[in-house]
Amino acid sequence: MASGFFISGGNTPADPIRRGVIMKIVSVIFITDFILLVASSFAAEPYALDKIVVKPKAASQSTITSSEIRQKNPDSLVDLLNGSGGLDLRYRGTSGIQADTSLRGSTYEEAAIAIDGINLMDPQTGHHNLDIPLTGFDVERIDITKEGASSSYGAGALAGAVNFVTKKPDKQALYLDAVFGQHALFGQGFSFSLPHEFLSSRVSFEHKISKAARPNTDFEYQTASCYLNKDTDDWALDNLFGYQKKDFGADSFYSNLFPEEEEHTETIFDKIGLEYKPGGYSLKNSLFFRKHRDKFILRRNNPASVNYHTTFVYGLNSQFNLPTRYGEILLGMDAVEDQINSVTLGKHSRSHEAGFFGFTPDLGRRFIMDLKLRGDCYQKWGWQESFNFNFGYKVMDQRLKLKCSAASAFRVPTFTELYYSDAANRGDPNLKKERANNFILGAEFKDKTVNFGLDAFLRRLRSLIDWTRASSSDRWQAANLGRVDFYGLDFNSKIEPGLKARGVSLDKITFAYTYMSADKKTGGLLSKYAMDILQHQFITSIYHTFCGISFDWQLTYNRRYYGEDYFVGNIYLSKKIIKNHFNIEPFVRIDNFNNTKYTEVSGVLQPGRWIKSGLRLEW
């Protein structure tokens, strides 16, 4: 694997464009702050923060908690998503090298990826959305929204969003992690957190390298992050910086005609947030910046065919939360700029501004309601409105919640869909935006030891963007298709029996099943991505201990709408040894222990059985 990395950045967009964007951002800051501060002065009775109780929303959302993150100890941050019901994580490369996210039958372009609520979808292609410059040490939880969420995240959240919420350094701690295994796998990581009255901080680093399980899928990546936080009674200031570099063989990642593909990516992310929170309300401005570089080599043994792409996403998110006696009000504005400088796609930029409003009324103990409205303005596509309306009713001493929701969402084409062209693919600069209406009817039950939920969902898409062709001899063409309806059922359950007997305990069992189907009205064209969905997904996880050793089993069965079906089993074993303030935890992981041969992306064979072991230390 080549260790060097070089990307020609080329010339940046003209200075007048930059000055215009900067002026928009500054204007949004001043206008937003003025409006929101004036609005707060008209609140009838400002409520203190300790009087506010955040109520659960009726939306279809699941959460991967901090304890689950710690328990799973994944190979990469992305691997945490594997095993979430209704989410199809389609790997090209292992250990988080490259994967696509699908939510209830969506394409990878229709599921937004965010950090602390900031939408960071890559404007070049959604294949890079999961290039997240954070480690597992940095994340407090992962919120997975499985319905249209453009009213919260803007363009791209057509079918939902995955939001990585970072944690604050609330205790002094040092974590060390080392792993080695088959296929010359070796990795290490560390994280050091230091809370302090003056300035709290956390520094994290992660590195892995492997020859991989099959030819031309070798990889090496490094991820580093730094978080700084200053928190007082009336205001808070924080800065999150992340860096990630990946070098990998990409055998048939994009075409099985070229098994010697190679790719190098580099991601830089920085976010500065300032929150003002006196008297019960809060006003937060977040400036953010993401830079992504992509060097793609079609034939690694003949580097004459090389593509370079550099994208920038930067802007401001400003939001104001005002609790009142009638409920909580949310007001906010966004100003965002997307830019690309590419050998094959050219130089392009686009900016958009957005305003949003939310209201969560206080309807008592039994009723839950949440309303969000948003408008995004693009020069090319004009105003795009989106909304979410969620309603819930609790019965059986509030253990059972009946819920329904409706949402309108949209996405705009990526630069690849607009401008890419080669012998096998052709974009279309005249593509329209894609829109969807989402409907959910469901129920949730929560008790001390048993939780379950069931959703019936319908997503009605218009002007669906996909790569299509009339026959296998034609080029793939980016196009807006007709109406496509996706519908199905999503069931999930969790049981925590707490059974213990003679050194054996059964702590937790989870089960998820998702059924999906599609009513295609696309004029008989062949679809490259949109119709390649899961039809049946079964996921079972069992967590138990035996003689002090923890066992975490994950059993998955997938059957694709047009394709194969396969069963994959993973197991993670660990033994925690505690000495005063020092914890040591040796572990063994066996991925695909049943050695199934399968693909999640056509032509990209996944690894067979892979045994890994390592050690975790905590002070």
- For 139-194, write each residue's pLDDT tens digit: 999 999 999 999 999 999 999 999 999 999 989 999 999 999 999 999 999 999 99
The two structure tokens encoding residue 132: 């997240």
Q: What is the mean pLDDT of residues 289-293?
A: 98
338 — pLDDT class (breaks 50, 70, 90): very high
Q: Which residues contact 413 (CB under 8 A, 6 or more apart)?
A: 431, 433, 434, 465, 478
Nearest to 207 by CA among 219, 222, 185: 222
Say how far apart CA 365 and CA 393 lie, in whole Å. 9
Alpha-carbon distance values, 365 to 218, 389, 392, 397, 492 (Å): 55, 19, 11, 10, 25
Say how far apart CA 87 and CA 81 lie, in whole Å. 8
**194 inside domain:** yes
Model's pTM, two decimal places?
0.90
**81 inside domain:** yes
Say how far apart CA 356 and CA 335 lie, in whole Å. 12
Say how far apart CA 275 and CA 239 lie, in whole Å. 12
Say how far apart CA 583 and CA 616 lie, in whole Å. 8
pLDDT for position 278: 84
Say how far apart CA 242 and CA 265 lie, in whole Å. 14
Alpha-carbon distance values, 40 to 50, 320, 321 (Å): 18, 9, 9
266 in Cβ contact with 244 (< 8 Å): yes
Q: Which residues contact 502 (CB under 8 A, 6 or more apart)?
A: none
Local structure of 574: helix, strand or coil: strand
Q: Report phi then psi at 180, rounded to 5.
A: -145, 160
pLDDT in tens, 61-80: 899 998 899 888 888 999 99
- Label the pairing between strands 434-446 and 400-411: antiparallel
The two structure tokens encoding residue 29: 């800051």
pLDDT at 29 over 60: no
pLDDT for position 15: 46
**6 inside domain:** no
pLDDT in tens, 121-143: 999 999 999 999 999 999 999 99
Say how far apart CA 439 and CA 407 lie, in whole Å. 7
Alpha-carbon distance values, 373 to 358, 386, 408 (Å): 6, 6, 10
CA 88, chain centre distance (Å): 12
Residue pointed to by tokens 């898409």: 461
Neighbouring-strand partners of residue 95: none
Nearest to 319 by CA among 347, 291, 290, 277: 277
pLDDT for position 24: 53
**4 inside domain:** no
Alpha helices in 53-108 (DSSP H): 66-72
CATH code at position 258: 2.40.170.20
Cα Dmax for the chain: 73
344 in Cβ contact with 350 (< 8 Å): no
Q: Is the dihedral of CA 460, 466, 469, 473 positive or negative?
A: negative
Q: What is the mean pLDDT of residues 110-119?
A: 96
**605 inside domain:** yes
DSSP class of residue 13?
P
pLDDT for position 48: 41
596 — pLDDT class (breaks 50, 70, 90): very high
Count CA within 13 A, CB hemisphere, residue 159.
25
As for how many domains the chain has, the answer is 1
- Label the pairing between strands 476-480 and 425-426: parallel
Say how far apart CA 85 and CA 490 lie, in whole Å. 7
Say how far apart CA 408 and CA 437 lie, in whole Å. 5
Local structure of 104: helix, strand or coil: coil
258 — pLDDT class (breaks 50, 70, 90): confident
Neighbouring-strand partners of residue 361: 327
Nearest to 597 by CA among 563, 562, 564: 564
pLDDT at 251 over 80: yes
**602 inside domain:** yes
Count CA within 13 A, CB hemisphere, residue 102.
22
Say how far apart CA 147 and CA 83 lie, in whole Å. 18
**2 inside domain:** no
Say how far apart CA 34 and CA 333 lie, in whole Å. 12
**Burial tier of 277 (Cβ tally within 10 Å: 0-12, 13-18, 19+):** middle
Q: What is the mean pLDDT of residues 2-12?
A: 36
Q: Which amino acid is at 208?
A: K
Which helix (H) or strand (E) segment holds residue 283: the answer is strand 282-297
Per 3-state DSSP, the chain is made up of helix, strand and coil in percentages (nearest 5) of: 10, 55, 35
**Burial tier of 365 (Cβ tally within 10 Å: 0-12, 13-18, 19+):** exposed
**468 inside domain:** yes
Q: Report phi then psi at 428, rounded to 5.
A: -140, 110
pLDDT for position 302: 79
The two structure tokens encoding residue 109: 């372009």
Nearest to 190 by CA among 200, 178, 208, 172: 178
What's the Rg (C-alpha) of the chain? Answer: 24
Say how far apart CA 497 and CA 86 lie, in whole Å. 25
Q: Which domain holds residue 192?
A: 15-618
DSSP class of residue 281?
-
226-246 exposure pattern, b = at least 16 Cβ within 10 A, e = fewer:
bbbbbeeeeebebbbbbbbbb
The two structure tokens encoding residue 576: 């925690």
Say how far apart CA 285 and CA 293 lie, in whole Å. 27
Say how far apart CA 105 and CA 148 lie, in whole Å. 12
pLDDT for position 289: 98
Nearest to 612 by CA among 79, 66, 135: 79
% the chain with pLDDT above 70 = 89
pLDDT at 376 over 80: yes
Say how far apart CA 365 and CA 220 lie, in whole Å. 52
Q: What is the mean pLDDT of residues 564-593?
A: 93
